[in-house]
Amino acid sequence: VYHHTAPISAFYGLHEGLRLVAEEGLEARWQRHRSNAELFWEGLERIGLKCHVPIENRLPSLTTVRIPGSADDLQVRKQLLEKYNIEIAGGFGELKGSVWRVGFMGHSSRPENVDLLLTALEAILK
């Protein structure tokens, strides 16, 4: 009935992703993401940056950071990518140029990744 090849690699990827979630445990995984988000939020405050969304409405896996007036959105993101191999996204629509979208999801939600990004942002924004 279906004459195209199914996306087998996508099925393998889904299987592996679910295996990792089961191995870590769903509750532990949620807590890890929450802890790393809080670490990031505290670090942002420490270096003088603000989150766009009030704390009670924030997602642990995605943070919108207000771009300080002295910073050039594209230049900061370019330096992060070229010097630190870190990619963050800019805002959309009316938030374009005023926020960065930073995701710590899955395997990348690690304290060392949070620390690296905070260190890089602080160095670039000086």
Q: State residue 32's pLDDT score.
A: 97
Query: Cβ contacts of residue 107 below 8 Å, gap of 6+?
Result: 20
Q: What per-residue confidence (pLDDT) applies to 16?
A: 96
Kindly list the distances between the CA atom of residue 98 and the CA atoms of 47, 74, 115, 123, 124, in Å, as whole numbers in the listed order: 18, 11, 23, 20, 17
Whether the predicted model's global pTM rises above the 0.75 cut:
yes
* Confidence at residue 108, expressed as pLDDT on a 0 to 100 scale: 93
Q: What is the pLDDT of residue 115?
A: 98
- pLDDT at 65 (0 to 100): 98
Mean pLDDT of each 10-residue bin along the chain, 126 residues long: 80 95 96 98 97 96 95 97 97 96 94 98 96
Burial (CB < 10 A; 0-12, 13-18, 19+), residue 67, is buried
pLDDT for 1: 63
